[in-house]
Chain A
């Protein structure tokens, strides 16, 4: 589904990604861990097409297409979803209106008929229930005045609405209390199928108690320096990163 080969990227003059190789197949869950500043969010941003980053080398294939040549919105319509670490507030734009436009674009790309108003409302109710999203939030402006937990639930709600092929969740667990973490993580698990894939970027093992990964990768200094199964996350939780990164320190 997603093949990343020797990906290098920079922001301004600073090289952040220094040769990432990663393959994600349908049905898989990958966790990307690593110390602060290792390039995790940059990787998510590059895959989503954030123009803040410049790709200097390497290639990315998504669903057989050269992803780096595809504009941001087209990547989204193809089914690439980014769960934001800091969801953006958009004053005066209601969640319902925003989602109506987004769902319409995704369906148009898939060659599906637009939803009727009542089908859309039913979908909103059904998907909102997955993350126990307060139905009042969907009539409010996008993320405006939402609590930290509500913003993250809202990200997973949008993921549920858009039914992506590949979801990249950038520190979806940051800023969540225990209950919200459980709801958000369980929501992600419910949305996982054999046809889609999830990449979770996280600092903490506790998220992976709910979202059990097939692979855990350690990103450090712009490269994946180690990969393993879910037991790697437990080891990292106990022992930290030092045993891995000593050899790679600049």
Chain B
């Protein structure tokens, strides 16, 4: 079953975008397909999950607010080229987790504002570009108050003549003491005409903080390819397996269990075109 069919099924609560306030816990995740505008508020103490699926070229603006102690997990999946701007504001002790999967040229800009003491956010993502794709993943995390935690791990793979860009910024306001922030960008360029541009940045105005960031750009590991071929796998299969292994942990941490398998399948299909 395709992801589109899946999120239209009984396991999900479909809505058409626009404004929505979640005021009760719900085990069924919300699902919205190709929204152009989305305003979601998760009320105090409420836990919920959301799937945003992009299946056709589109522009989206999303405003998400988490009231104190709210918890939201989002799977944001781009199967078509989309310009997206996602703005998240979090109050005290709220928890927000994003898993982003970009399978096409897409320009995705996240702004996470940690506005309440003790809030935390995790933004993990993967983008895969083949052919002439241009994937952009921009993430700004603003630690506006003290005692907040943020972490992000974004993995990129590009092949063909594709370009992948990661632009990351962690901002720590002057009074945001005891901030814990991590940002990692890891990438593989497969082939000579594929390009990765990665710019993780820190802007820190407080002194009692723990912040780290890093970026790596690598090639396919030839030793690993040789090792797998020596066990009988074809070169193409060895390369694909290596990249699958590299990005697989992101999709395996997708907050919606039933999406893991179809996401892995989409990933495999995309990697075959690399």
Contacts and interface: CB of A to CB of B under 8 A. Distances in A.
Interface stretch (A10-18, A71-79, A180-188): A71-79
A92 B245 contact: yes
Given A88-B221, A90-B224, A101-B237, A76 B245 contact: no
Nearest to A87: B227
B229 A76 contact: yes
Contacts of B229: 49, 71-73, 76
B224 to A, nearest CB: 5
Given A73-B235, A98-B241, A90 B228 contact: yes
A50 interface: yes
Contacts, number: 75
| Prevailing SS type, chain B contact patch | helix
A162 B228 CA distance: 13
Interface string B233-255: 11101000110111111000000
Contacts of B223: 88
Contact of A50 (B226, B245, B247): B226
B238 to A, nearest CB: 8
Given A90-B242, A92-B246, A92-B249, A48 B232 contact: no
A82 B230 contact: yes
A92 B231 CA distance: 17
A146 interface: no
Contact of B234 (A50, A73, A97, A109): A73
Contact of B224 (A75, A76, A88, A102): A88
Given A98-B228, A98-B241, 13 more contacts: A48-B230, A50-B226, A51-B226, A77-B232, A88-B223, A88-B224, A90-B245, A91-B246, A93-B242, A98-B231, A102-B233, A105-B231, A162-B231
Interface of A: 48-51, 71-73, 75-77, 81-82, 84, 87-93, 97-99, 101-102, 105-106, 109, 141, 158, 162
Q: Which 6 A-B pairs have the closest CB atoms?
A: A92-B245, A105-B232, A93-B245, A102-B231, A88-B227, A76-B232
Interface of B: 221, 223-224, 226-235, 237, 241-242, 244-249
